[in-house]
Every structure is written in C-alpha cells, then in structure tokens.
C-alpha cells in the first residue's frame, strides 16, 4: 500500500504495534500484511502523539529535533509565543509543540510573587492570564489605594492601574477618595428653648487627609462625623428660641464648623464648612408666620402709599402756587388741558361772540353767574 506524506506532515510507522521510526514528505510503501501501520500527523501547533507516550517519541532523534518540550512547574505558567507573538497561556504540566514551520517559544513566569511587572508580563498581554491567578486594582484620579497583602499593609497606591498575583497570596485594596465630600445630616428634630419642635437639614463638607491612619481607626468616617455633628447641633441649637434660630443661622453654622474642626486630627480629615441648609417648621407655626409676614408687607405697602400721596399733594400745591404767581404759566397750562380735550373729542360746535380759544376755555370753566 502506497502513502503520500505532504511537506507539512510526518508519519509514525508502527510494526506490530511498536513505533519503528518517523517518515517525512514523499511516497512510502507500507505492508499491512507484515504488521506495518502508518499514522500521519501535521507538524504544526501542538504535537498529536496519537496516544504514544512522549518519552517513547522523544527517543526518536528526528522527532526530538523538531519539537520543543517544556515542563511547567505547579508555581508557574507558560506564555506561549508563535513567531514572536504571544498566543496563549499554558497551564498544564507539560507543553509539547512542533518547531518546524513555526517558531514556538514558551516563557515560564512564576506566579507566587506579588506585583506583576512589565518584565514578567507586558501590559498588552496580561489579558491572557486566567482571572483566577491575578487581581486588577484601579485607582482613579483624586483617589488613593491602601494595598494589603496577606492582611498586612504593603504600600499606598496613587492613581493608575496595577496587577498583582493572587495565586499564593491574598491581595486586597481599600480605596479612599481625596476629593471634597459632602455629608448631609437631614431631618434632625430639635426642640427649641421656647418649646417649638423644628427639623433641620445640616450640610458638612470635608476631605480625607490621612487615609492610612484613618483605615486603622475606622471603616466609615462619614458615620463618625454624622453622629458628632448631630449631637453638637442638638446640644447647641436647643438653647435658642425659634426667632433666634431663624435670625442666627450663619452664626450657628460657624459654631458647628469650629467645634467639629477640633476633631480633625482624630478623624484624619479636613473640615471645610458646616452649615444649616433648611429649617422646617411645624405646619401651624408656618401658617402663623406667613400671616405675620403678610401683615408686615401690607403695613409697609400702606406706608409707601401714604408717602406717595403726600408727595403728590405737595407737588400739586407747588404747581398751583407757581400758576398763581405767573399768569403766562397759568395760560400755558390752560392751553395744555384744551389740547388734551381736543384730542379726545370727535367734534365741537361753537356759537356766539368771542374767539375760538375763549369759547373752548369757557367750556372748561365753571359758571359763576346766576341761573338763566
């Protein structure tokens, strides 16, 4: 029986089930009657052993010269390169590839370390690593990360992306924002000194300054600030009457800021400002205050109206006095009113003696004579 083996192929020649030799490109005659058998495989990619033990194949000099064989320890992974390009990560204990038409290389990387460096694995090929072997840590702009390896603080991370092996270690990170943060203490019910129940919304702006010390003290500094400001507000604001509370909002905010700043070192933060955002009054108190406000505004409006009436009357008196002293001015004023009348009247009929202006003026003047 004739077999043709192509250029990229080779054949395992068996006789009575025992590997005798390897056959390469060309025509070959096989005699099954004499117990010969040929198994053809391609000499690219991973080696197909056709069920043969690797040790048996490696005893064939021609086979061993054409393959690359790498043993991968338990604490390593193999980065497989084909013609200089990363292709895959090999996890199994042994890698066996043809090295005839392609240049296969396998670089062993130890996974029992901590940080994955650029020398170990270039950043562009880290996505090939199985997710169970590494952890990706991302620290954004304006943030900082506290790195812990096996429960111990390792270092503080600035903005960037980091990769760490977690095969033999437990790797964690606590992320803290160094930006200005706002804490709202809302719906605080406080009884004033004149027994009026009000609800306050308080705002506090702060910024974390020492994250490492803070991590050793508490997991949630916002809760500590919330409780402290709440207690300060109840203690201080409870001593004010309602009208004082409404009039001194800014003063109360300054007091709260000063008091809470005394705890900056303890809480590892910087307090920027604290103030009252809203004061919510009970319904009946709000109605009363609205009534008072409306009455005050009406009183102010009345005062303004009286002031304008007095000014108008004084202006009329001054005008009358001028016209009394100056006949020409009086005559001009008279003509001005006649002009206004003529603008609004469609037609005017006059009869009798006298000029037109005299007769028009007579229409505007009251009659002083007796009854006709």
Cα angle 243, 248, 249 (rounded to 5 degrees) comes to: 110
Confidence of residue 369 (pLDDT cuts 50, 70, 90): very low
Confidence of residue 271 (pLDDT cuts 50, 70, 90): very high
Q: Is the pLDDT of residue 314 over 60?
A: yes
Residue pLDDT, tens place only, 70-106 = 999 988 999 999 998 888 899 878 889 999 999 999 9
Cα angle 33, 38, 43 (rounded to 5 degrees) comes to: 170
C-alpha 217: how far from chain center: 26
Evaluate whether 279 touches 198 at the Cβ level (below 8 Å): yes
Query: Residue 105, class by beta-carbon neighbours within 10 Å (0-12 exposed, 13-18 middle, 19+ buried)?
Result: middle
Place of tokens 């303004």: 304
The pTM assigned to this predicted structure is 0.65
Query: What number is the average pLDDT over the span 271-286?
Result: 77
**Calpha distance 172→242 (Å, rounded):** 51
Q: List the structure tokens of 362.
A: 């007579």
The pLDDT assigned to 211 comes to 94
């Amino acid at each position: 029986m004739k077999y043709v083996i192509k250029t990229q192929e080779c054949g395992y020649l068996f006789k009575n089930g025992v590997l005798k030799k390897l056959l390469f490109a060309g025509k070959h005659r096989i005699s099954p009657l004499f117990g010969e058998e040929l198994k053809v495989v391609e000499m690219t990619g991973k080696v197909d052993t056709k069920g043969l033990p690797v040790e048996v194949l490696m005893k064939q000099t021609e086979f061993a010269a054409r393959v690359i064989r790498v043993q991968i320890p338990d604490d390593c992974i193999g980065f497989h390169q084909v013609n200089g390009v990363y292709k895959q990560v090999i996890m199994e204990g042994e890698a066996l590839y043809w090295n005839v038409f392609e240049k296969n290389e396998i670089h062993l990387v130890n996974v029992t370390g901590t940080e994955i460096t650029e020398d170990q694995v270039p950043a562009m090929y880290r996505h090939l690593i199985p997710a169970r072997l590494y952890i990706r840590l991302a620290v954004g702009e304006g943030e900082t990360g506290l790195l812990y390896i096996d429960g111990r603080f390792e270092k503080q991370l600035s903005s960037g992306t980091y990769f760490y092996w977690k095969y033999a270690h437990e790797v964690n990170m606590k992320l803290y924002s160094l930006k200005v943060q706002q804490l709202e203490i809302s719906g605080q019910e406080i009884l004033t000194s004149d027994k009026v129940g009000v609800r306050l919304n308080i705002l506090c702006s702060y910024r974390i300054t020492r994250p490492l010390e803070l991590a050793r003290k508490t997991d949630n500094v916002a809760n500590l600030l919330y409780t402290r400001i709440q207690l300060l507000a109840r203690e201080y604001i409870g001593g004010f009457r309602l009208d004082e509370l409404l009039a001194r909002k800014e003063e109360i905010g300054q007091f709260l800021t000063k008091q809470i700043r005394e705890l900056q070192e303890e809480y590892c933060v910087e307090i920027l400002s604290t103030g009252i955002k809203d004061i919510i009054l009970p319904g009946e108190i709000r109605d009363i205050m609205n009534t008072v406000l409306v009455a005050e505004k009406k009183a102010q409006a009345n005062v303004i109206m009286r002031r304008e009436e007095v000014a108008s009357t004084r202006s009329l008196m001054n005008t009358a006095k001028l016209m009394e002293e100056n006949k020409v001015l009086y005559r001009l004023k008279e003509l001005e009113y006649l002009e206004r009348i003529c603008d609004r009247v469609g037609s005017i009929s006059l009869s009798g003696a006298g000029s037109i202006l005299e007769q028009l003026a007579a229409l505007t003047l009251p009659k002083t004579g007796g009854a006709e």
